[in-house]
Amino acid sequence: MPGYGSGTVYRRGGGWWVQFWHAGRCYRESAKTGHKDEAKAHLKRRLGELAAGRIGSRGVERVTVRTLIEMVYAHYISNGSRSIYEVRTRLEAHLLPALGDRRVAALTSTDLAGYVRRRLAAGVSNATVNRELALLRLGMNLGRRADPPLVVRTLTIQMLPEGNVRQGFLEYEQYARLRDELPEHLRGLYAVAYHVGCRRGEILDLRCDQVDMAAEVIRLDATQTKGKVARVLPIYGEMGEWLERALAARDPRCRWLFQFEGKRILDFTRTWHSACERAGVPGLLFHDLRRSAIRNMERAGIPRSVAMAISGHKTESVYRRYAIVSESDLRDAGAKLARFLAAGGIGG
């Protein structure tokens, strides 16, 4: 039997093929050329991959991106991730149709560049493309750590620059307009998001027994939060009214707080976008309510440690990304400075 790293080229039909051996197995594949020198160059590349450990068993050579995507989905389910619905959309609507049937061993940076180009041409942001590429990279890592490994070659996944940090938020009058445009069954979860800045998944996961109207708090279990830490949220303002309505309208056969016709609410994307258009805030994301709540807490002078405990942020660096300053805040600051200078620079 030929030794490790040896190989040969041979003619088959109208083209050239290469043959090489690894771990007692013989590999044969078309060099996709009609020139012998190009076939030799192809063989040399394959032997180089062999020496670098990038060629494994025949089973590995047949693994598709679909297998890795299934591993990613299973990973999110087993970890009880709050973002499983968003992940499923990214996987099933975009990555699977575009790359699912491609063999991982044959996947190239050119393939990824083509995927990125098509997604950007569809009008999505760099950040959205990066979230999709991150899922693919997670799949590659999970495949590499599997036993036996399903991925044995390294493919660099280059992320796009993200200079498009969201700055959406709602002033209270905008909040009121949008609330009135939403259907009754969505107003409660909308009020909670705007007042305490919960993540969408945390709100949709709320059960009726977690709302304590007497104590004026909502108690989140550790299993429901992204940071796996239990939180207590205050009920204040009109939150109480909408929570009472949600509790009164619930079907006792459904344990979820936010439900519609006896079924748990899971997705309301189309209704949300339509209401935003009618309210004069087109393009607003539900996540912008979290940003708005944090900014309101900053404006109200709530200690940052308390605000972070409510919003569920673990580090100030992440929290500060959401503490957005609006144009009206800047104008107020300018007016205060003008008064200060007009008084001769003397504080009063």
pLDDT band for 330, please (50, 70, 90 cuts).
Answer: low
Tokens representing 219?
Answer: 């108690």
Backbone angles phi, psi at 11, to 5 degrees: -90, 135
Q: Which residue has the tokens 């796009």?
A: 160
What whole-number distance in Å separates Cα of residue 115 and Cα of residue 133? 10
Q: What pLDDT, on the 0 to 100 scale, is given for residue 211? A: 97
CATH of 172-330, one of 1.10.443.10, 1.20.58.1030, 3.40.50.720, 3.30.465.10: 1.10.443.10
Q: Which residue has the tokens 């993200």?
A: 162
Mean pLDDT across the stretch 159-170? 73
Tokens representing 122?
Answer: 């569809």
- Give residue-wise pLDDT tens across range 242-257: 999 999 999 999 999 9
Lowest mean pLDDT among 44-48, 53-57, 213-217: 53-57
Residue 175 has pLDDT above 80, yes or no: yes
At 41, is the secondary structure helix, strand, or coil? helix
pLDDT band for 78, please (50, 70, 90 cuts).
Answer: confident
What's the one-letter identity of residue 220? L
Residues in the chain: 348
Q: What pLDDT, on the 0 to 100 scale, is given for residue 1? A: 39
What whole-number distance in Å separates Cα of residue 250 and Cα of residue 262? 7
Mean pLDDT across the stretch 77-87? 75
Give me the residue spans of the domains in the chain: 7-55, 65-145, 172-330
What whole-number distance in Å separates Cα of residue 73 and Cα of residue 91? 8
pTM: 0.58
- Give residue-wise pLDDT tens across range 176-208: 999 999 999 999 999 999 999 999 999 999 999
Gyration radius of the chain's alpha carbons: 28
E strand or H helix at 135: helix 126-145
Q: What pLDDT, on the 0 to 100 scale, is given for residue 199? A: 92
For the chain, percent of residues with pLDDT exceeding 90: 45
Q: What pLDDT, on the 0 to 100 scale, is given for residue 195? A: 95
What whole-number distance in Å separates Cα of residue 335 and Cα of residue 204? 42
pLDDT, the chain, mean: 85
Q: Decide which of 318 and 27 is more confident.
A: 27
Q: What is the DSSP string of 210-228?
A: GEETTTTEEEE-GGGSTTS
What residues contact 341, with CB distance under 8 A and at least 6 apart?
none
The beta strand positions in 156-298, using DSSP E, are 211-212, 217-220, 231-234, 259-260, 263-264
